Chains A and B, each alone.
Chain A
Amino acid sequence: MEPERPQDPVATDEEAPVIAPGHTYQTVTDQISAIVLTRKTPREWLLGFTLSFALVMLLLYSIGYLLVAGTGIWGINHPVGWGFAIINFVWWIGIGHAGTLISAILLLLRQEWRTSINRFAEAMTLFAVACAALFPLLHMGRPWLFYWLLPYPNTMGTWPQPRSPLVWDVFAVTTYATVSAMFWFVGMIPDLATLRDRSRRRAAQIIYGILAMGWRGSAKHWHRYETAYLLLAGLATPLVVSVHTVVSFDFSIGIIPGWHATIFPPYFVAGAIYAGFAMVLTLAIPLRALYGLEDFITARHIDNMAKILLATGLIVVYGYLMEAFMAWYSGNEYEWFMIRNRISGPYKACYWALLACNGLAPQLLWFSRVRRNTRLLWLIAIVVGVGMWLERFIIVVTSLHRDFMPSAWGMYYPTAYDWTTYIGTIGLFLALLFLFIRFLPMISIFEMRTIVPPAERRARG
């Protein structure tokens, strides 16, 4: 492993390369496939995987006890019927947004700098959606009956209730998970074939061989592949907007002050992209250092992502301001009370922390020196991740805990099981990610090869 350089050598203007100079087809393939096939598993990987796997065990324990005892093990109550489960669901699904955005929209916009981070971001999306999808299941009183939310002909003679946003949610999330998984897998097929061809062990050859689905790299294959990939990108594009829009409907369709707001869909989508890019940065910066991938994930990538973070952060802050403004401007006493309760009620610490994390911290990104300082950027990305979690906490909890009837007001305090379930899903996410970088090419080899400058292609190839 190479020591992290104090400052990236590459300039961050528009003309900066998206791959370090000196790479040929050969070096790209060698370096990326080596992580999976030949390089010794780093000790850091073992340590990280062990830790995250232990957290997966914690998650399994928490889920097991939940199924035995009931949702009462959490802090939810009357009036706060949704707690960590829904907060975490929205948080994870938001994180899962960067993947599709990078893969699909940036592909269609021909942003070739996306190439080195898309595989990785797609994997992250998938794992985040997996974590997210756990929560709506677990938060149900009777999770074993989850399939009643699916439309299937049945002897009960009834269908899901189509006016409920939770039903829309089921469609949105399952579609998103399916398309993301397909997009990720289809995008990996040529690389899986590379691994098949390069691996020396029989078992690896068979497994990668099956996954490569008979890819031979013929022109016909490439032609069909490109078409399919573009089509999938086209399919995935509306999902970037739709999923979080539908998730925001879970709240905005309700009549609870703090939920019932028309600004929610755009505000949620921006927040999701914001959280997603924060997570990509949170993961990419250490991985890049750990595996010495500075040549592929260059300072330009980091800089671009920081800029997106800043832009979406500003949209989110606009959302906060508008929410407060509309509460006042509407003259609705319940809305206005809701904002005052956020500002000065029992959860005011969370609200102010949210504004600091999501509103103030990203303002540092106006400075290119900050954007170039990977350590500081990494910290900011983590702060944004925390801030986005707090945002969901504020939306879910402070809206519910004091709504219309003062007699029914209450407080929500998470229990130990709320925390273990949440931390457990972080463990699951990381464990899947560790397995991914160990067993699959985390950067798209064939796409990287397309951006090797033509002069270099043969010189050393």
Chain B
Amino acid sequence: MRGDGNTLDQYGSYGRQRRTGGERLWRSFEELEQAPEFRLLAENEFAPGALEREGGPSRRRVLELLGASLALAGAAGCTRQPPEKIVPYVAAPEEVTPGKPLYYATAFLLGKVASGILVESHLGRPTKIEGNPDHPASLGATSPLAQAFVLGLYDPDRSKVVIRHGRISSWVNFLAAAAAERERLLARRGAGFRVLTEPVTSPSLAAALRALLAELPEARWHQYQPLTGDHARQGSRLAFGEPLHVLYRLEQADVIVSLDADLFGAGPAAVRYARDFASRRRPDHPAGMNRLYVVEPAPSVTGAMADHRLALSNRQVELAARALAAGLGLPVSPQADAPAKEWIAAVAADLDRSRGRSLVVAGEHQPPAVHALALAINHQLGNLGRTVFCTPPLEAEPVDQMASLKELVADLAAGRVQTLLILGGNPVYQAPADLGFGEALQRAELRIHLSLYEDETSQLCHWHLPEAHPLEAWSDARAFDGTVTLLQPLIEPLYAGRSALEVVSIFAGRPSQTGEEILREYWRGAAGAADFERWWRSALHDGLVRGSEFPPKPVSLRPDLFARLPEPPAAAPLELSIRPDPAVWDGRFANLAWLQELPKPITKLTWDNAVLLSPATARRLELAGGDLVELSAGGRSVRAPVWILPGHADECVTVHLGYGRTRAGKVATGIGFDAYRLQSSDRPWCTSVQLRRTGERYQLASTQHHHAMEGRRLVREATLAEFRRDPGFAHHGEHPPPADLSLYPPVAYEGYSWGMTIDLNTCLGCGACVIACQAENNIPVVGKDQVARGRAMHWIRIDRYFEGDPSRPAIYHQPVPCMHCDHAPCEVVCPTAATVHSAEGLNQMVYNRCVGTRYCANNCPYKVRRFNFYLYADWSVETLKMLRNPDVTVRSRGVMEKCTYCVQRINRARIAAEREERPIRDGEVVTACQAACPVQAITFGNLNDPAARVAELKKDPRNYGILEELNTRPRTTYLARLRNPNPALERL
């Protein structure tokens, strides 16, 4: 048990015993006198190099690994329930029933901002993340990043032990060292002590840090993470005089203008914003369908949803923002070279018509002026308080993070920092390269790093402490709207990691305090509840503290805003925009193979980042996709492959962060290039760049090689006006085969008859369904080489098509799971009857019966079948065995697999229904992809139930099946996409 095993007292007495021994027996006078030289010698018992060979794994390392694997073998055998009381989300059965999972509410953290999740737990093993329907940032859905949260817990490359000077140490040693350090710090009132954290939204951690700082008044607390949000805060300061957090109510807006804001693809509120946006995409919504304008350099999932999208470079986005403000009567002088004047004028007119029912959003990476302009426009349009709300910042101590980091680096360089405690984050890798954080860091005398991985920063620190994963630890955090979410552990720390809260507590002189105690203690005070236990239980059960969201703050525009607005930068010959990666974010998820292999929403690239540029720019620079180029900015350069992306702004290139890791684990180390090396602290997101061809080539692994639909009507689209005129537009040109066209007698599906619809009108192409399916169905990752060979294993893929002019293409997404055809071409050709049709219409794979002729995959017109060309499933890593869904077979080499419509979920619902002697209710079976979808594009259910939502949608005139002319009778169908264009722009 954790409380017994890890207390300082116990170890402390052990330490004392050793010391007494040391006093009795001595080897030399130095030892007897405890001379410092001897202490050094005793610590390094053997001469350097005597034990470890340079390069390659040492004997010691091999033994460590052997030991670790043995320990892991044990870990898999018995799951480790945390000893504290955690509260299951659903009514718990009397006792845990094997085979029946429990769900616990906790939160996924992105940039330390919470979104609520429910974690499925099988006998104490968390296996799957679902959204928390009660949580405002989730509403039951998740992002792809949240789906991979559970893989992060079991990542075999996570740091497992305390490391000191590159060698295995222990918490005991660290606690002793920390106690000694605390004494020294107290003596000098904390002078020279610095704490570097990521921005802290956790009220309890902030309180703990404040308490520590109160004790050590000379100490300083710095906060930094790559996605600082500084520009938004500065913009708000420009507009309102204080750094406020801005919230949007997209469901209230008729007209939405995004100035390079990836509202639905990035950030901790993306899932909620996508849901709110999608709720207004339905043509039958009483308030009408909304209209989205997007201006952005590189196409994002938000841009792909736009009714009108304009590809502009970063500088042009700023000019467009000014022109838009000017067009709405704000005292801004539009620049002479403002782009797309008619387009902007049309948008301004549309906004003007929708005062109070519109909103303008500035992207996080846009300069403060754009943020200020967006706020001013919203103010001008009367949107503030109706669609746009300002609240206090989510961070407990909001700071300008880049300034905070710069200050730390300056102090480090000046030798003013003796002790640096880094709680999370990986600043050596993630700080902009011009700061030279790594070199400065080494000036500190004692460097301690707490993190999930032994990473680039750990390498340069004296102590590396393994951090407890958020699924292993107690903590709290705020969601995008300020809602407090308590995080409860699902499992005892796999590797004796500790949370930031616990480590701060060590420095506060309370090393034996557990995270739960600290958290309860804090909230006992902060909750102000009469019955704290009841409050605590309900907060844990619900996964949020109800009513804790920030109230909107009334604001007024500073009168001198327009005078103080910074001038836009001069035009750069070639502009570089730096963005977080849609899959691995700022690099923190880089070692999660699910995310590495998730095809990035627009490029469909996996396992790499690339230099994205437009077809026209590629032509001018004479570049082809896969050419290796050298990018130089700020005197530093990286070599990177080129990827040509239709819809990208001209004379501008985009790179993504998160790759080029040098010490990140087996998955992420050495893949891609490090875009932080191009980042400058003054202009972190957009700068000028030189591009030089190297003449070399580089293989990128994309999952889609053909980007045009070839005139095949796979994605069907119409404008809202066309749809109103002709609701059946999706069916024009179809050649449906006669109903009785089959050699076999018709099958009546009595009882259940499962089917699915996917609404292309709301689908973002974000990939949440892909990762949810991967997590639910134990789908293996195959690696870059296999993806490049066309062997990715995802059961649901998201096809992305470009249509029209490559400089301004329409971008379509189409998720393609198995169609579960009633006349399935795969079934007739299987020689061993390994794929058969169920009485409920499912096209089933019998893995045991499959001998792997692959005929079924060849004969599948939708190409949704996936073959295990090698033994892709990991059968050896112990922690990954704990991750598996016990309800789904782990497939072996040489068998075919594919989407099952989550048959295990159907059966779970069936068992529950049969026990209660009732039919399965509509909505009781939710497939993994459906559950994760932020926009609820996927609907699944019983087609024989006329009241079922899916049956209703199948009657929608927009409902159509793809390749129906082949007489396959697909059970998965699509709802055609609608666009709501501005008539004024259609004429342009």
Residues of A within 8 A of B (CB): 69-72, 75-82, 136, 139-143, 145-146, 148-149, 156, 158-161, 163-167, 170, 250, 253-256, 333, 337, 400, 402-411
Whether A254 pairs with B791 at a CB distance below 8 angstroms is no
Beyond the given A70-B868, A145-B851, A164-B830, could you list 4 further A-B residue pairs with CB under 8 A, ordered by the A residue number? A142-B852, A333-B712, A403-B863, A407-B816
Q: How far is the CA of A321 from the CA of B290 in the complex (A)?
A: 54
**CB-contacts of B849-866 with A (<8 A):** 849-855, 857-859, 861-863, 865-866
Q: How far is the CA of A335 from the CA of B271 in the complex (A)?
A: 42
Whether B712 pairs with A406 at a CB distance below 8 angstroms is yes
Cβ–Cβ < 8 Å partners of A161 in chain B = 828, 830-833
Q: Does B155 contact A (CB under 8 A)?
A: no
Among A82, A165, A167, A407, find the residue whose CB has the most chain B CB atoms closer than 10 A: A407
Contact status of A79 and B790, CB under 8 A, knowing A140-B894, A166-B829, A408-B863: yes
Cβ–Cβ < 8 Å partners of B619 in chain A = none
Candidates B704, B858, B859, B869; contact of A72 at CB < 8 Å: B869
Name 8 A/B residue pairs within 8 A (Cβ), A-sorted. A69-B870, A70-B871, A77-B869, A79-B790, A141-B854, A145-B851, A148-B849, A149-B831
Q: Does B66 contact A (CB under 8 A)?
A: no
Report the nearest B residue to A334, measured CB to CB.
B712
Whether B855 pairs with A166 at a CB distance below 8 angstroms is yes
Candidates A79, A160, A253; contact of B829 at CB < 8 Å: A253
Query: Nearest Cβ distance between residue B806 and chain A, in whole angstroms?
Result: 16
Q: How far is the CA of A69 from the CA of B849 in the complex (A)?
A: 20
Whether B870 pairs with A72 at a CB distance below 8 angstroms is yes
Whether B710 pairs with A337 at a CB distance below 8 angstroms is yes
Query: Nearest Cβ distance between residue B160 and chain A, in whole angstroms?
Result: 31
Report the nearest A residue to B857, measured CB to CB.
A81
Whether B851 pairs with A146 at a CB distance below 8 angstroms is yes
Contact status of A75 and B789, CB under 8 A, knowing A70-B894, A255-B859: yes
Query: Nearest Cβ distance between residue B113 and chain A, in whole angstroms?
Result: 34
Report the nearest A residue to B799, measured CB to CB.
A407
Report the nearest B residue to A253, measured CB to CB.
B829
Query: What is the total of A-B residue contacts with beta carbons within 8 Å?
Result: 167
Query: Nearest Cβ distance between residue A453 and chain B, in whole angstroms?
Result: 54
Contact indicator per residue, chain B 892-907, by CB within 8 Å of chain A (1) or not (0): 0111100000000000
Cβ–Cβ < 8 Å partners of B711 in chain A = 333
Q: How far is the CA of A406 from the CA of B869 in the complex (A)?
A: 23
Q: Does B963 contact A (CB under 8 A)?
A: yes
Q: Does B801 contact A (CB under 8 A)?
A: yes
Q: Does B621 contact A (CB under 8 A)?
A: no
**CB-contacts of B428-480 with A (<8 A):** none
Whether B894 pairs with A71 at a CB distance below 8 angstroms is yes
Cβ–Cβ < 8 Å partners of B852 in chain A = 71, 140-142
Q: How far is the CA of A141 from the CA of B855 in the complex (A)?
A: 11
Candidates B704, B865, B963; contact of A407 at CB < 8 Å: B704
Query: Nearest Cβ distance between residue A328 and chain B, in whole angstroms?
Result: 16
Whether A403 pairs with B833 at a CB distance below 8 angstroms is no
Interface size counted on chain B using CB atoms at 8 A = 54
Q: Does B708 contact A (CB under 8 A)?
A: yes
Cβ–Cβ < 8 Å partners of B896 in chain A = 141
Whether B863 pairs with A79 at a CB distance below 8 angstroms is yes
Cβ–Cβ < 8 Å partners of A82 in chain B = 854-855, 858
Q: How far is the CA of A163 from the CA of B824 in the complex (A)?
A: 13
Whether A78 pairs with B712 at a CB distance below 8 angstroms is no
Contact indicator per residue, chain B 783-821, by CB within 8 Å of chain A (1) or not (0): 000100111100001011100000000000010100000
Q: How far is the CA of A156 from the CA of B861 in the complex (A)?
A: 31
Q: How far is the CA of A80 from the CA of B850 in the complex (A)?
A: 18
Among A81, A82, A161, A170, find the residue whose CB has the most chain B CB atoms closer than 10 A: A81
Contact status of A405 and B849, CB under 8 A, knowing A70-B869, A160-B833, A161-B832: no
Cβ–Cβ < 8 Å partners of A408 in chain B = 797, 799, 862-863
Query: Nearest Cβ distance between residue A359 and chain B, in whole angstroms?
Result: 27
Cβ–Cβ < 8 Å partners of A142 in chain B = 850-852, 893-895
Cβ–Cβ < 8 Å partners of B816 in chain A = 405, 407
Q: How far is the CA of A410 from the CA of B966 in the complex (A)?
A: 21
Contact status of A410 and B790, CB under 8 A, knowing A70-B871, A148-B832: yes
Candidates A148, A333, A403, A410; contact of B861 at CB < 8 Å: A403
Whether B704 pairs with A404 at a CB distance below 8 angstroms is no
Query: Nearest Cβ distance between residue A190 and chain B, in whole angstroms?
Result: 41
Contact status of A140 and B853, CB under 8 A, knowing A69-B870, A160-B833: yes
Contact status of A406 and B966, CB under 8 A, knowing A77-B791, A142-B850, A253-B829: no
Q: How far is the CA of A411 from the CA of B705 in the complex (A)?
A: 9
Candidates A70, A170, A403, A406; contact of B870 at CB < 8 Å: A70
Q: How far is the CA of A76 from the CA of B893 in the complex (A)?
A: 15
**Sorted from nearest, which 10 A-B pairs have the closest CB atoms?**
A141-B852, A141-B894, A77-B790, A72-B869, A407-B799, A81-B854, A408-B863, A166-B831, A161-B833, A72-B870
Cβ–Cβ < 8 Å partners of B865 in chain A = 78
Query: Nearest Cβ distance between residue B960 and chain A, in whole angstroms?
Result: 15
Q: How far is the CA of A36 from the CA of B317 in the complex (A)?
A: 88
Report the nearest A residue to B895, measured CB to CB.
A141
Cβ–Cβ < 8 Å partners of A143 in chain B = 851
Q: Does B867 contact A (CB under 8 A)?
A: yes
Q: How far is the CA of A250 from the CA of B833 in the complex (A)?
A: 16
Whether B828 pairs with A163 at a CB distance below 8 angstroms is yes
Query: Nearest Cβ distance between residue A385 and chain B, in whole angstroms?
Result: 26
Report the nearest B residue to A415, measured CB to CB.
B789
Q: Does B709 contact A (CB under 8 A)?
A: yes
Contact indicator per residue, chain B 94-107, by CB within 8 Å of chain A (1) or not (0): 00000000000000
Candidates A78, A146, A337, A400; contact of B791 at CB < 8 Å: A78
Q: How far is the CA of A165 from the CA of B871 in the complex (A)?
A: 28
Query: Nearest Cβ distance between residue B40 and chain A, in whole angstroms?
Result: 52
Q: Does B825 contact A (CB under 8 A)?
A: yes
Whether B870 pairs with A409 at a CB distance below 8 angstroms is no
Candidates A81, A160, A167, A410; contact of B867 at CB < 8 Å: A81
Cβ–Cβ < 8 Å partners of B915 in chain A = none
Whether B893 pairs with A404 at a CB distance below 8 angstroms is no
Report the nearest A residue to B785, measured CB to CB.
A72
Report the nearest A residue to B801, measured CB to CB.
A407
Candidates A80, A160, A406; contact of B708 at CB < 8 Å: A406
Whether B870 pairs with A78 at a CB distance below 8 angstroms is no
Candidates A148, A149, A404; contact of B712 at CB < 8 Å: A404
Q: How far is the CA of A160 from the CA of B853 in the complex (A)?
A: 13
Candidates B792, B814, B851, B871; contact of A148 at CB < 8 Å: B851
Q: How far is the CA of A253 from the CA of B797 in the complex (A)?
A: 27
Candidates B853, B857, B895; contact of A139 at CB < 8 Å: B853
Q: Does B714 contact A (CB under 8 A)?
A: yes
Q: Does B918 contact A (CB under 8 A)?
A: no
Q: Does B706 contact A (CB under 8 A)?
A: yes
Cβ–Cβ < 8 Å partners of A403 in chain B = 861, 863
Contact status of A410 and B894, CB under 8 A, knowing A78-B866, A403-B861: no
Q: How far is the CA of A166 from the CA of B851 in the complex (A)?
A: 12
**CB-contacts of B865-883 with A (<8 A):** 865-871
Cβ–Cβ < 8 Å partners of A139 in chain B = 853-854
Cβ–Cβ < 8 Å partners of B861 in chain A = 255-256, 403-405
Q: How far is the CA of A339 from the CA of B642 in the complex (A)?
A: 33
Query: Nearest Cβ distance between residue A121 and chain B, in whole angstroms?
Result: 31
Whether B867 pairs with A78 at a CB distance below 8 angstroms is yes
Cβ–Cβ < 8 Å partners of A146 in chain B = 851
Report the nearest A residue to B833, measured CB to CB.
A161
Whether A76 pairs with B829 at a CB distance below 8 angstroms is no
Query: Nearest Cβ distance between residue A260 and chain B, in whole angstroms?
Result: 10
Cβ–Cβ < 8 Å partners of B791 in chain A = 72, 77-78
Cβ–Cβ < 8 Å partners of B851 in chain A = 140-143, 145-146, 148-149
Q: How far is the CA of A139 from the CA of B816 in the complex (A)?
A: 27
Whether B831 pairs with A170 at a CB distance below 8 angstroms is yes
Report the nearest B residue to A332, measured CB to CB.
B965
